Structure 1
Amino acid sequence: MSVKVYNTSPLPFMGQKRNFVKLFREALQEFPTATTFVDLFGGSGLLSHVVKRQRPDAHVVYNDYDDFHHRIENVERTNTIIAEIRTILDGLPRKKKVSEPKRQTIIDLLRRYEHTGFVDYITISSSILFSGNYATNIREIEKQTLYNTTKQTPYACDGYLDGLEIVKADYRELFSQYKDTPGVVFLVDPPYLSTQAGHYNGYWRLADYLDVFSTIMEHPFFYFTSNKSSVIEFFDWMDAHGFGSPFKKATRKEIDNTITYNARYTDIMIYRA
């Protein structure tokens, strides 16, 4: 039986590394002796998924700090909710604002489902909010303008997390657990500097960012960031002035991204085998 390979997260997720999947797969070929991959900031699990499909022999640990697997487990319930929303909005053109009474009907629908179980507001956001916006609870939905952006086909997540060891831990604890494991490679994709850090309370500060580098100083690693962060520039300066850098002798790959005609940024993947 064929195993499905995903090139992107099957559910909406902020910050997933879908643009790097091809380069990441190619780079994994340079780690033939690796036996364990530990995804310290697992996010949507895309990196862990790619590793397990590329290296089915390896032990892959996915740190699901955001409880993404819970969203996967409830995908059929989410599909049912979106199907009902699609019916409510039948006849309204795509990307048009949802006016009353349909707006309140959608909110009432979500409240009813919330009383009976889990509601994946992040996924549902992509069907009722304008592109790029998302909510994590009903209160945030109520504050925003709704639009008809409903997905026209059901979400499918079959086998996405198969073969992974799913854990939930502070990345420091997970690093300590595996740092002495022979053949270990750490996947490091921390929140962007000075941004909200999900379940890590508050903002991801410079001190938090620098703490992460203890995980890659003496181990094979993949590290993901962007030119929005000044961390790489900081370590280039450190290295030039004789203080050393965790990226010394590492390989760097870059992908340019365009947001608008005058807004661009560069995603960066750095790895050392």
Structure 2
Amino acid sequence: MTKIPYSKAPLSFIGQKRNFIKAFRHVINANIIGDGEGWTVVDVFGGSGLLAHNAKHLLPKATVVYNDFDGYVDRLNYIEDTERLRQQIYSAIEHLPRQKALSQNDKEVVIGIIKSFDGFIDVHSVANWLLFSGKQVRTLDELYSNTFYNTVRRSPYEQATGYLDGLVVTTESYTTLMARYKDQPKTLFLLDPPYLYTGQGAYNQEKYFAMVDFLYLMSLTRPPYIFFSSTKSELMDYLDYLKQLNNDDWQKLGGFERVTIQAHVNHERAYEDNMIYRF
């Protein structure tokens, strides 16, 4: 395990919660003692694994389950190929203005490099280098259909040494995972679900996260939990609705603490991110 925990994920991931890491660490330290002995922490929608990694670092005696909902472990396994491809693309366009759209000729040069690359291609990292901020794609063909920008990462990727150490890695539906642990009182749920009517996870899940999915998730949620949401989700509106009803669901989910930050998609778009928690 690393001596100093990662404060951001080794590879790009939309919504990795790095802006909440300081607050997340504070909440964990304030509410779980004894290095987490006897505790289980379940990162239900594991994403980049950043929350699970930090939880294990803070609670070395706890069992920490990382649900690799988006295939992030596979991406980490090929980080050397990703760095090699980054170097090739960066060398080809480093002389061009940063943050500006590539000409069609320069775009074709980059596409040629990608098509001739002899290793694993992490389309999500490549999209992060070449597309407008926050733009996501699932395939190389979809990538090629977009305007390219010169935003290639300048610093090299390093091996993600110790990032997954000590974690129990699984890949399964949140429904089966939460059902297995929901009746265990010393199990903390980390919850960062997709927003309603968006794809499940940033990359691999094609099905939309619909209202029924959200309601089923809330039926499985109970304290202790740490739940992430934003003004782009329905969570806070749903909790306000429960508060007005003051029913059993509110008694189960209400009484939480809240941390709020202003997040930015790019220089033009901002929104409010929330971390709510109850122990």
Common fold: TM-score over 0.5 = yes
1:47 and 2:70 aligned: no
C-alpha spacing 1:250/1:85, structure 2 compared with 1 (3 Å): same
Tell me how many residue pairs correspond in the alignment: 270
Match of 2:28 in 1: 28
Match of 1:136 in 2: 138
Do the aligned residues in 1 keep the contact of 2:83 with 2:156 (CA within 8 Å)? yes
Match of 2:73 in 1: 69
Shift of 1:87: 1.8
**Distance in 2, Cα, partners of 1:130 & 1:188:** 28
Alignment of 1:55-134 (within 5 A): 55-113=59-117, 116-134=118-136
Q: Secondary structure at the match of 2:84?
A: helix
Q: Deviations over 1:120-155 (max 9, x none)?
A: 011112222232223332101210111221111211
C-alpha spacing 1:270/1:118, structure 2 compared with 1 (3 Å): same
Q: Deviations over 1:85-114 (max 9, x none)?
A: 11221422222332243322321222233x
Alpha-carbon RMSD across the aligned residues, in angstroms, is 2.2
Shift of 1:222: 1.0
Do the aligned residues in 2 keep the contact of 1:188 with 1:222 (CA within 8 Å)? yes
Shift of 1:72: 0.9
1:271 and 2:272 aligned: no
C-alpha spacing 1:54/1:149, structure 2 compared with 1 (3 Å): same
TM-score, normalising length: structure 1? 0.90
Match of 1:6 in 2: 6
**Distance in 2, Cα, partners of 1:97 & 1:237:** 45
Shift of 1:262: 7.7
**Distance in 2, Cα, partners of 1:249 & 1:137:** 43
Shift of 1:2: 5.7
C-alpha spacing 1:90/1:270, structure 2 compared with 1 (3 Å): closer
Match of 2:181 in 1: 178
C-alpha spacing 1:249/1:97, structure 2 compared with 1 (3 Å): closer
Unaligned runs of 5+ residues in structure 2 are none
Do the aligned residues in 2 keep the contact of 1:247 with 1:270 (CA within 8 Å)? no
Unaligned runs of 5+ residues in structure 1 are none
Shift of 1:236: 2.3
C-alpha spacing 1:215/1:136, structure 2 compared with 1 (3 Å): same
Which residue identity does 1:271 align to in structure 2? Y
Q: Which of these residues, 259, 268, 272, is aligned with residue 253 of structure 1?
A: 259
Shift of 1:235: 2.6
**Distance in 1, Cα, partners of 2:228 & 2:172:** 20
**Distance in 2, Cα, partners of 1:95 & 1:262:** 15
**Distance in 2, Cα, partners of 1:2 & 1:173:** 31
Shift of 1:261: 7.8
Alignment of 1:187-198 (within 5 A): 187-198=190-201
1:161 and 2:167 aligned: no
**Deviation beyond 4 Å, 4+ runs, structure 1:** 258-263
C-alpha spacing 1:193/1:2, structure 2 compared with 1 (3 Å): closer
Which residue identity does 1:54 align to in structure 2? L
TM-score, normalising length: structure 2? 0.88
**Distance in 1, Cα, partners of 2:96 & 2:268:** 32
Do the aligned residues in 1 keep the contact of 2:81 with 2:119 (CA within 8 Å)? no
Do the aligned residues in 2 keep the contact of 1:88 with 1:106 (CA within 8 Å)? yes
Which residue identity does 1:65 align to in structure 2? F
Q: Secondary structure at the match of 1:254?
A: strand
C-alpha spacing 1:152/1:257, structure 2 compared with 1 (3 Å): closer
**Distance in 1, Cα, partners of 2:106 & 2:234:** 46
